Amino acid sequence: MKRIRLGAAVLNQTPLDWAGNADRIRQAIHRARERRIGVLCLPELCLTGYGCEDMFLSPHTWRSAWDSLHSILPVTEGMLVTLGLPLYVTNGVYNVVCVVADGQIAGFVPKQHLAGDGLHYEPRWFRAWPAEVVTTFHYEQQSWPIGDVQFECDGVRLGFEICEDAWVAGRPGNRMAECGVDVILNPSASHFAFGKHEIRKRFVLEGSRAFGVSYIYANLLGNEAGRAIYDGGALIASSGQLVAAGPRFGFHDVGITCADVDVDLTRTRRAGIHSMPTDVSDDVHARIIHVPGKLTAPDSGRTKTESATAILQASLPTASSTLVSATPESEHDEFTQAIALALFDYMRKSYSRGFVVSMSGGADSSAVACLIRCMAERAVAELTLEGVQKKLPWFAAVQNARSIDQLMHHLLTGVYQATRNSSDVTRNAAEAVTCGVGGTFHQLDVDSLVADYTSIVEAAIGRKLQWDRDDIALQNIQARTRSPGIWMFANLNNALLLSTSNRSEAAVGYATMDGDTSGGLSPIAGIDKAFLRDWLRTMEKNGSAGCAAIPALRLVNEQQPTAELRPAEYEQTDEGDLMPYPILDEIEGLAIGDKRSPAEVLFFLTEAHPEHSREQLVEWVKRFFRLWCRNQWKRERYAPSFHVDDKNLDPRTWCRFPILSGGYQAELNDLR
C-alpha cells in the first residue's frame, strides 16, 4: 500500500497584486504543510491573477511573475507544489504550470487548449502548446524542461490538465492514462455560472474513473477582477469516487481541501481496465521528468486513527463556515451566494466605503438592497464581525459596529427621490425595504428640479411640453434629474453607487442613460426580471442560502413593476410599455442566446403560446428586435456587471453586437 495525501487550494487573488498574491500562496503552502500534504495543486495563473487581460503581453508582468515564483520557492521545502504563471517562450506567451519540488523548479507544463468562448479571451494573450512536444526553457544560464511532460516523484507519476484541457473532447488525460500517470492535477480558473459546479464534478469523477487515477481540481475564489465570480469548490476524486469536496463561495482568502489516496489501489483498478491501451515507447519515457525527493507519508508520526481524524477535519468546512459550505439547493441560493461574495470583494478591492442605491420602491432596487444584506450576513457568519472589520481597515465607520444591523447602517445608503408622478406605494416600499435590511434611508423631492429643467427647455423652444407629443423626453428628464443627487451621496460617503438595471431591461434599452443607469457597478444586470421577482418572493417568505427572510418585501412583491414616470392616469407598467416579462425573456433567449432569426423566434413562440394571437406575437417579436438593435449603444455604456450564466448581454465579455446595423428590417417585414 502506497498512500499519499493530496491537496487542492482555493485562493482569492487579485490581478497584478504581486505581494498579496504571493502572501496568499505562502499561506496555502503553510496550511498544507500543517496537514502533511505531499502534493499541493494551486489555481491557474495564481501568481499573476487570471484577469490581467492585455497585461499578460507586458514584459513587466512576465518578469514580476518570475520574481514572485522565486520568492515562493523556499517555502515549498519537503513538498511538491504547482504554481501558475505566464511564461514567454521564444516568440509567444504561454499559460503554464510550474512544478516545484522541495524548493526547486522541476519543469513547466503549458496549457494545450485555450478558452476562447464567452467571457474568455485566452487566445488573445496566450498560445496553445502542441501535444507531445517537449523542449527546454532557458533563463539566466539555467534551463528546465517544458512541454507535454509528466513528473515522477517517489515512485508516483503526475500529469496535468489545465482548466479548459479537461472540458474538451480530446482531453490530455487520455494520453496520460496510457502512460501510467497516477495523479492528474487540474489547476483552474473556472468562473461561476448556474449549475456549472455539477458539470465540474462530472468531469473530475469521470476523469478519475476512465483514466484510473486520482484527480485534483483547484480553483480561484471570489470576485477576482470585477466581472467574473469564482466559487472555489475544490474537488479530489479517486477511481470514480469523490473523496473530498471543499466549500464554495467562501469569504476567507485561502482554503485547503485534502484527502488520502492509495496509489497501489488506483494502479490495480487501472490494470483491470483492459480497454485502456498502454504506451511504452521511448517517446513516452522521454517525456517523464524524474524529481528527487520523498512525498510525505500521511501517517508519519500519527496513529491510524489520528490520521483518519485529521484528514476528515481537513476535508470538511469549519464550524464557523456552515453557511458557506452548504450545497446550494436551487439557483436562488447560488445567486444569493455568488452576488453576496462578489459585492463584498468588489467593495474591499475598490476600497469603497459601502454602497449607495437609488431606491425606487420597485423590484430591482429592492433586490440590490437585499443582496447587500445577504453579503453582510454571510460575511459575518463566516468571518465573524471582527473578521469583517479586519478586512475593511480603511472603513472607519464600521469598526465600531456591534451587530449586523449596525454594520448595515454604514454599508447601505438608500435614497428615494420623488416627483409629482411618484406614489405613496413606492415611497413606503422604498423606506420599508431600506430600513428592513438595516440601511440608512433618505427621501428627496426633486420635482422642482424637474420643473426647472422643463421650463428652461420650454423657453428655449418656445412651446409647452406635452405628454401626447413629448412623452419620452418628459419621462427621461425625471430619471436624469435623480442622477446628480444620488452621485452626491456616493461622493460624500466615498461609497460605490450601484445601478439597478436588470438583463430584461438591458435587452430592449428600457432604461434612461445617465438616469437610472447611473452607477459604478450594476450587480443584477446579468439576471432577468422574472428570476429577480421570483427570488424576491423567496426572500420575503423564506430567505435564501442561510440569510434571513425580509418581510418588508411584501410591499414590493404586491406591485406591478412600473417606471412611475408618467402621470397616474396613464397607469404605466413595465409590461404595458414592453410586453410580458416571461415572453420578453423567452424572445431574448431564442434571438440572442440561440441566434434565431425573427421568423424562427415567431415559430417557436406560436407553438409555445397558443393563448396569444399570432398578431400579438408578431408585434412583440418586432418590438424586441427593433429595440434590441437600436439600444446596443446603451449596453456598451452600462456599468460593469457580474457574470452569472451563459445569457449575459455584456458586450465586453459575452455578447458582441454592432452598434449600427440594418436592424433586421427585411426579416421583420417578412413577418407580415
DSSP string, 322-372: HHHHSPP-SHHHHHHHHHHHHHHHHHHHTT---EEEE--SSHHHHHHHHHH
Residue 96 in grid coordinates: 503554464
Q: Does position 209 have pLDDT exceeding 60, yes or no?
A: yes
**pLDDT for residue 281:** 66
Q: What is the mean pLDDT of residues 189-210?
A: 95
In the three-class reduction of DSSP (H, G, I as helix; E, B as strand; rest coil), residue 157 is classed as: strand
Task: Quickly count: other Cβ atoms within 10 Å of residue 487's Cβ.
Answer: 16
Residue that wins the pLDDT comparison between 117 and 113: 113
In the three-class reduction of DSSP (H, G, I as helix; E, B as strand; rest coil), residue 570 is classed as: helix
**pLDDT for residue 110:** 98
**pLDDT for residue 648:** 86
Confidence grade of residue 327 (pLDDT, cut at 50, 70, 90): low
Gap between the Cα atoms of 290 and 157, Å rounded: 9
Gap between the Cα atoms of 643 and 523, Å rounded: 9
Confidence grade of residue 600 (pLDDT, cut at 50, 70, 90): very high
**pLDDT for residue 295:** 85
- Report H helices in 218-326: 263-271, 282-286, 304-315, 322-325
Would strands 235-238 and 241-245 be described as parallel, antiparallel, or unpaired?
antiparallel
Residue 471: DSSP 8-state = H
Q: Which amino acid is at 61?
A: T
Give the burial class of 606: count Cβ atoms within 10 A of its Cβ; 0-12 exposed, 13-18 middle, 19 or more buried.
middle
For residue 39, how far is the Cα from the chain centroid? 27
In the three-class reduction of DSSP (H, G, I as helix; E, B as strand; rest coil), residue 8 is classed as: strand
Q: What is the mean pLDDT of residues 444-470?
A: 97
Roughly what angle, to the nearest 10 degrees, separates helices 471-493 and 447-461?
Answer: 130
**pLDDT for residue 618:** 97
Q: Does position 89 have pLDDT exceeding 90, yes or no?
A: yes
Q: Does position 320 have pLDDT exceeding 60, yes or no?
A: no
Gap between the Cα atoms of 184 and 650, Å rounded: 35
**pLDDT for residue 299:** 62
Gap between the Cα atoms of 198 and 191, Å rounded: 13
**pLDDT for residue 1:** 81
- Report H helices in 296-330: 304-315, 322-325
**40-49, 235-244, 522-531, 557-566: range with lowest mean pLDDT:** 557-566
In the three-class reduction of DSSP (H, G, I as helix; E, B as strand; rest coil), residue 641 is classed as: strand
Q: Does position 301 have pLDDT exceeding 50, yes or no?
A: no
Q: Does position 62 have pLDDT exceeding 50, yes or no?
A: yes
Confidence grade of residue 563 (pLDDT, cut at 50, 70, 90): confident
Q: Does position 88 have pLDDT exceeding 90, yes or no?
A: yes
Q: Give 274-283 pLDDT, tens digit per residue.
A: 676 776 666 6
**pLDDT for residue 395:** 96
CA distances from 670 to 602, 618, 619 (A): 11, 11, 13
**pLDDT for residue 282:** 61
Percent of the chain with pLDDT over 70: 94
Q: Does position 265 have pLDDT exceeding 90, yes or no?
A: yes
Q: Give 518-550 pLDDT, tens digit per residue.
A: 999 999 999 999 999 999 999 999 999 999 999
Nearest to 355 by CA among 416, 296, 440, 275: 440
- Do residues 71 and 22 make contact, with C-beta atoms less than 8 angstroms apart? yes
- Report H helices in 35-183: 59-72, 122-125, 172-178
Gap between the Cα atoms of 654 and 229, Å rounded: 14
Burial 242-274 (b: 16+ CB within 10 A, else e): ebbbbbbbbbbbbbbbbbbbebeebbebbeeee
CA distances from 628 to 366, 443, 638, 639 (A): 26, 34, 14, 18
Gap between the Cα atoms of 100 and 578, Å rounded: 58
Gap between the Cα atoms of 190 and 162, Å rounded: 10
Would strands 183-187 and 214-218 be described as parallel, antiparallel, or unpaired?
parallel
Q: Does position 322 have pLDDT exceeding 90, yes or no?
A: no
**pLDDT for residue 280:** 63
Q: Does position 348 have pLDDT exceeding 70, yes or no?
A: yes
Residue that wins the pLDDT comparison between 308 and 184: 184
Gap between the Cα atoms of 123 and 92, Å rounded: 11
**pLDDT for residue 118:** 81
Q: Which amino acid is at 403?
A: S
Q: Does position 475 have pLDDT exceeding 70, yes or no?
A: yes
Which domains, and CATH codes, for the chain? 3-318 (3.60.110.10), 328-670 (3.40.50.620)
Q: Does position 313 have pLDDT exceeding 50, yes or no?
A: no
Beta strand segments in 539-579, E: none
**pLDDT for residue 329:** 67
Confidence grade of residue 328 (pLDDT, cut at 50, 70, 90): very low
The set of long-range contacts for 658-662, using a CB threshold of 8 Å and a minimum separation of 24, is 658/632, 659/632, 659/633, 661/629, 661/632
What is the chain's mean pLDDT, rounded?
A: 92
Percent of the chain with pLDDT over 90: 85
Q: Longest Cα pair distance anywhere in the chain, in angstroms?
A: 93
Place of cell 474538451: 168
Q: What angle do CA 270, 272, 273 make, to 5 degrees?
A: 70
**pLDDT for residue 20:** 98
Q: Give 160-171 pLDDT, tens digit per residue.
A: 999 999 999 989
Q: Does position 415 have pLDDT exceeding 80, yes or no?
A: yes
**pLDDT for residue 46:** 98
Residue 548: DSSP 8-state = P
Place of cell 485555450: 114
**37-41, 496-500, 568-572: range with lowest mean pLDDT:** 568-572
Q: Which amino acid is at 410?
A: H
Beta bridge partners of 291: 153
**pLDDT for residue 272:** 84
Confidence grade of residue 647 (pLDDT, cut at 50, 70, 90): confident
For residue 309, give every residue at least 6 positions away whose Cβ sits within 8 Å of its Cβ, in sequence order, or none: none
Report DSSP letters for 573-587, one per residue: -HHHHS--HHHHHHH
